[in-house]
Amino acid sequence: MPATRSSTAELPMMLVTHTEWLSANTYVLLAVILATLGIASIVGFLLSRRENLGVESPLLRRFNHKLRVWWMMAAILVIGFLMHRIGVVILFGLVSFWALREFITMTPTRRGDHRTLFWVFFIFTPLQYIFIALGSNPPSWLGRLSTIDYYGLYSIMIPVYASLFIPARAAIAGDYKRFLERSAKIQFGLLICVYSLSYAPALLDLQYVPTGSTTPWTGSNVSVLVFFVLIAQLATVMERAWGRLAGRHVIAERINASRTWEGFLGSMVTTGLIAAALFWATPFYPWEAGVLGAVVTVMACAGTMTMSAIKRDRGVTDTGTLVQGHAGVLDQIDNVCFAAPVFYHVSKFFFS
């Protein structure tokens, strides 16, 4: 039995030694994204310089503002990748912190919740990302702690322990007014902004085995993370584009009048095809990448609709201000937040 435990514990380490941090495909994928952004920026600049073109100017301004956001997101991701795995985890941790701040600001709490929020921001959020950083292959200098598979911790800490702790700590404060509503708001914000988003950097920890193969994939998990973030963002773009081109039937007019069933279905097909075309950067076959693209589209659209409902309820247009004229951090990543845990678990249970 000791020999069996030793060989099992060494298996993740052996697999990691065969995996590159940044492979050639990763560089190519990043180059394709940057080139596409460059071409789109040139087109946007030229259109903004021409007069009487018949282009709807508010739409063009929104397009150029969105490009600035994408450039900033691309630059931040590249910087995170250059800082290696720990840099990516820290990057997503900071994004979670800022998104949670926007969510709590949008849904005001009471003075009695301040100490509960301290635990949420400065205990549970950092712990979640510390466990993500440790993953299934923690450093040996941790001693006995290095034998733990931290997936078992970061997968349940917030849904179980934090969800039980938050109402209990709020009750100790002695403020019973709108108690259920306040507790639910804090729990939901932590679940979406921290727990769900943390599954994006957790993709770096998976060991992929292509379908029909017994040999672990030797590519870079960074490519899978870039692939996921890219298709999640494309899903929203394609939904808007198809909604403007062919939108007839609004999904929920009182929530978001611009979201249509035609846009949703068109986005599923288009994003799925783009994902299938990018299969070469992932451990998936084209049809698998296409199905994952469609699944991410469903979750991305669900995230956008959910945040729209929350903003309607709170009477706000945007969750914050990230780039002048273009919303906040949570507005940019609501699609990623909803899609990340689903993409992670589908990948883990079918391809890892």
For tokens 């995170």, what's the residue? 80
Q: Convert the pLDDT of each residue in 273-305 to its tens digit.
A: 999 999 999 999 999 999 999 999 999 999 999
Task: Report how far residue 224's alpha carbon sits from residue 206's, in angstroms, rounded to the nearest whole number.
Answer: 10
Task: Report how far residue 26's alpha carbon sits from residue 23's, in angstroms, rounded to the nearest whole number.
Answer: 5
Q: Convert the pLDDT of each residue in 19-49 to its tens digit.
A: 578 889 999 999 999 999 899 889 888 877 7
Q: Tell me the β-bridge partners of 323.
A: 326
Half-sphere exposure of 257 (CA within 13 A, CB side): 1
Task: Report how far residue 334's alpha carbon sits from residue 41's, in angstroms, rounded to the nearest whole number.
Answer: 24
Task: Report how far residue 48's alpha carbon sits from residue 64's, in angstroms, rounded to the nearest whole number.
Answer: 9
Residue 340: which of 132, 169, 80 has the closest Cα? 132
Residue 321 is predicted with a pLDDT of 58
Residue 29 is predicted with a pLDDT of 92
Domain that holds residue 204: 2-351
Residue 222 is predicted with a pLDDT of 94
| Other residues' Cβ atoms within 10 Å of the Cβ of residue 214 | 6
Please give the structure tokens belonging to residue 238.
């394609």
How many domains, in total, are found in the chain? Answer: 1
Please give the structure tokens belonging to residue 322.
């990230």
Question: What is the pLDDT tens value at each position of the chain, 352 positions in all?
Answer: 344 433 434 444 334 444 578 889 999 999 999 999 899 889 888 877 765 555 557 777 777 777 888 888 888 888 888 888 899 999 999 999 999 999 998 887 888 899 999 999 999 999 999 999 998 778 778 788 788 888 989 999 999 999 999 999 999 999 889 899 999 999 999 999 999 999 999 999 999 999 888 889 988 999 999 999 999 999 999 998 899 888 889 999 889 888 999 999 999 999 999 999 999 999 999 999 999 999 999 999 999 999 999 988 888 776 665 555 556 888 889 999 999 999 999 999 998 7
Task: Report how far residue 348's alpha carbon sits from residue 352's, in angstroms, rounded to the nearest whole number.
Answer: 5
Residue 281 is predicted with a pLDDT of 93
Residue 352 is predicted with a pLDDT of 79
